[in-house]
């Protein structure tokens, strides 16, 4: 996925255009190309070669992207991780796949002649950790073409071009945000990379970034804040979770085009919704929903965008058949080609309660419509006779959550009896993964441990 060759071409054609603007500095395409060349020579001097795994844990997003592109130019495979990890944590995360090099400091620039890139579509050019809401992160590896081949399709859907300024408001060790930043560079646009959600005011606040940006690539729950702030954004790309219809409608009223997509770190793009009519197969992708006994089905995809698998053969939810199809266990309603894909979450997140199977996303979809709900997570809480009971943990929309009576009234009108939450809790803010998705497993763990920050709604 890294695009060192693209950056060098942009540097030759448009050297003075700003490529990256981070919290500490900015680089033109010429400046970025020079830094990448110097860092790549340094990595080659340290033994980086085609097939080498270069682990990168740098807090500064500009330094991180420079290191990623340098590893690519050197022919190695970059693997981005959380900059908060120390070397012992890296060792635990990569017990089955130790890196050849670990960069926890920006690589210095080494002198020497320019390196001429020779990228090939089948290069193992990118590795990343999963950022799902459950389970232990796993390192996934993919070929160059499995992401770069999708760049043009996404740019067409979002109406992006080299003249755009793309805000990437999250940590780059999330594969969603890393893709967004590298896609912007491949397009020749300017990438605004604050490295986190730009809270507060001033030159590094959200309003300042939105005043510069024309495109934003983010997770759906952050889009309302973009709509509430003045700016020049005309297009938003949203992935990682479901986009609420009222948020899309609000974006339309604000004149912002929204492209929502569904995928997984292992599958890349599977489906996209560019007009609000529902998720349709992403260009080049085939979709099957293979039936299960409960009336739902398991989503399988076949496309050029699929990953190679987990590093060093680690285990995970990714499965494949003999015909090139892959799945990570996501669940959907029955599907026929030409219809929208109606997702219902990850199969292993289903709640078994009193003999019924409840898909959390079905419940969340109904309850997100309640006025005053910012976001919520539905989980199963242990019960001595029912096995589990449906439990909702609600985050208020900018303040206190709506009263339980209103939540229950909406649940009665929109959900079957087995789906209705028996227990209701409120939190000031839900814990989230690095990609911005609610951390379902962490919510369940905190609730089980009696976290005082989670209060019972009565």
Domains of the chain, residue spans: 4-260, 350-456
Q: Cα–Cα distance between 299 and 159 in angstroms, integer?
A: 28
- pLDDT band at residue 92 under the 50/70/90 scheme: confident
For residues 418-434, average pLDDT: 90
Is the pLDDT at 135 greater than 60? The verdict is: no
Under a CB-based contact definition with an 8 Å cutoff, are residues 307 and 267 in contact? Answer: yes
- pLDDT band at residue 356 under the 50/70/90 scheme: low
Q: Which of 1-10, 126-135, 245-254 has the lowest mean pLDDT?
A: 126-135
**Nearest partner of 139 among 82, 183, 212, 185, judged by Cα:** 82
- pLDDT band at residue 336 under the 50/70/90 scheme: very high
Fold entry, domain 350-456: GMP Synthetase; Chain A, domain 3 (3.30.300)
User: Which residues, at least 6 apart from 433, have a Cβ–Cβ distance to it below 8 Å?
Assistant: 131, 132, 133, 174, 439
3-state SS class at 267: coil
What pLDDT is stored for residue 93 in this prediction?
A: 74
| pLDDT > 70: percent of the chain | 95
Extract the tokens encoding 445. Answer: 């763990």
3-state SS class at 85: coil
Extract the tokens encoding 395. Answer: 């985050």
pTM: 0.81
| pLDDT > 90: percent of the chain | 65
For residues 14-32, average pLDDT: 97
What pLDDT is stored for residue 133 in this prediction?
A: 41
Largest Cα span, the chain: 72
Beta bridge partners of 379: 391
Q: Give the tens place of pLDDT for each residue, 318-333.
A: 899 999 999 998 889 9
- pLDDT band at residue 294 under the 50/70/90 scheme: confident
> What's the burial of 73, exposed, middle or buried (CB within 10 Å: 0-12/13-18/19+)?
buried
The CATH number fitting domain 4-260, selected from 3.40.50.12780, 3.30.2020.10, 3.40.228.10, 3.90.580.10? 3.40.50.12780
3-state SS class at 316: coil
Q: Give the tens place of pLDDT for each residue, 169-211.
A: 999 988 899 999 999 999 999 999 999 999 877 778 999 999 9
Q: What is the mean pLDDT of the chain?
A: 90
**Nearest partner of 146 among 287, 3, 267, 324, judged by Cα:** 267
Is the pLDDT at 259 greater than 90? The verdict is: yes
- Edge-first strand order for the sheet with 257-264 is 26-28, 18-21, 190-192, 165-167, 215-218, 235-239, 257-264, 268-273, 280-281
Handedness of CA 419, 422, 426, 427 (dihedral sign): negative
């Amino acid at each position: 996925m890294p695009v060192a060759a693209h950056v060098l071409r942009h540097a030759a054609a448009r050297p003075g255009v700003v490529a990256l603007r981070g919290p500490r500095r900015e680089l033109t395409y010429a400046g970025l190309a020079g830094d990448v060349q110097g860092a790549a020579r340094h990595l080659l001097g340290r033994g980086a070669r085609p097939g080498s795994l270069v682990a990168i844990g740098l807090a500064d997003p500009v330094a991180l992207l420079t290191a990623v592109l340098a590893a690519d130019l050197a022919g190695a495979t970059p693997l981005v991780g959380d900059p908060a990890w120390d070397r012992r944590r890296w060792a635990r995360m990569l017990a089955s796949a130790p890196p050849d090099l670990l960069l926890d400091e920006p690589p210095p620039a080494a002198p020497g002649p320019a390196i001429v890139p020779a990228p090939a579509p089948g290069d193992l050019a990118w590795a990343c950790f999963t950022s799902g809401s459950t389970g232990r992160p796993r390192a996934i590896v993919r070929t160059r073409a499995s992401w770069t081949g999708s760049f043009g399709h996404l740019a067409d859907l979002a109406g992006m071009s080299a003249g755009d300024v793309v805000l990437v408001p999250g940590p780059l060790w999330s594969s969603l945000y890393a893709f967004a930043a590298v896609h912007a560079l491949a397009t020749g646009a300017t990438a605004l990379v604050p490295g986190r959600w730009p809270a507060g005011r001033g030159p590094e606040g959200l309003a300042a970034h939105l005043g510069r940006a024309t495109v934003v690539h983010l997770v759906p729950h952050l889009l309302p804040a973009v709509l509430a702030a003045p700016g020049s954004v005309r297009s938003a790309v949203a992935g990682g979770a479901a986009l609420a219809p009222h948020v899309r409608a609000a974006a339309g009223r604000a004149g912002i085009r929204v492209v929502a997509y569904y995928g997984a770190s292992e599958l890349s793009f599977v489906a996209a919704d560019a007009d609000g009519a529902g998720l349709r197969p992403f260009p080049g992708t085939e979709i099957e929903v293979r039936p299960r006994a409960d009336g739902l089905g398991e989503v399988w995809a076949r496309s050029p965008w699929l990953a190679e698998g987990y590093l060093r053969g680690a285990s995970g939810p990714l499965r494949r058949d003999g015909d090139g199809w892959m799945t990570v266990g996501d669940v959907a309603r029955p599907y026929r080609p030409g219809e929208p894909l109606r997702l219902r979450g990850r199969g292993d997140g289903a709640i078994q309660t009193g003999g019924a199977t409840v898909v959390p996303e079905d419940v969340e979809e109904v309850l997100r419509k309640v006025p005053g709900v910012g976001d919520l997570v539905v989980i199963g809480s242990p019960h001595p006779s029912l096995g589990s009971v449906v439990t909702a943990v609600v985050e208020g929309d900018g303040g206190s959550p709506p009263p339980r009576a209103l939540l229950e009234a909406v649940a009665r009108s929109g959900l079957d009896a087995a789906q209705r939450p028996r227990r209701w809790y409120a939190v000031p803010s839900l814990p989230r993964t690095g990609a911005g998705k609610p951390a379902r497993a962490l919510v369940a763990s905190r609730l089980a441990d009696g976290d005082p920050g989670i209060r019972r709604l009565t």
